[in-house]
Amino acid sequence: MILSKEKIKDLIEIGTIEIDPLDLELHLEDSSIAIRLSPNLYTYPLELEPQLSMLDIKNPYLNILEKEYISESGFVLEPKKFILAESLEYISIPEYINPFLDSKFRLDKFGLVLINKGWLGAGFEGFITLCLYNAGQMPIRLFKEEKIAQLVLHEVK
């Protein structure tokens, strides 16, 4: 069963679901919790791109990510480029609720793909890693604290 906005609000108010930072008016949507983009991004080093023909999951040197920050003017995600980001919110969900991470339709329309949408696992706790890909033909400017995804909460019975 998908939890309603009212049920989510009740669980937040009694401390069963924790969101930090929390703004009920901002976070609560119809049957979901809005997730915002933190200023932290992770990209593959540009200087390695010409030397790489593939990423090797057994070679940790080639999997080094550089940390970047979203400035006040935003971060431009170029077409056919991939970044890792994280949620601004630290989330704590009880064991009897399984959160489903989903994209925001308004961002889908720009070609921004949330690659890792899906189940986070009952009892999830932590910041959410967001795997973002620009599948479009135009660059996309991302801003910190922008609503980037949503959590739909399913009760586990």
Q: How confident is the model at residue 47 (pLDDT cuts 50, 70, 90)?
A: low
Q: Kindly state the percentage of the chain with pLDDT values over 70.
A: 90
Residue ranges of the alpha helices (H) in 72-133? 105-108
CB atoms within 10 A of CB 113: 17
To the question of pTM greater than 0.75 for the whole model, the response is yes
Mean pLDDT across 120-149: 96
Please give the backbone phi and psi of residue 10, each rounded to the nearest 5 degrees, phi first: -60, -45
Give tens-digit pLDDT for 125-135. 999 999 999 99
Q: Specify the pLDDT at position 139.
A: 97
* φ, ψ at 85 (rounded to 5°): -135, 180
Name residue, tokens 């170029």.
78
Query: Superfamily assignment of 5-155 in CATH?
Result: Deoxyuridine triphosphatase (dUTPase) (2.70.40.10)
The 10s digit of each residue's pLDDT in 58-108 is 776 556 788 899 999 999 999 999 999 999 999 999 999 999 999 998 888
Which pLDDT belongs to residue 66?
A: 84
Beta bridge partners of 43: 66
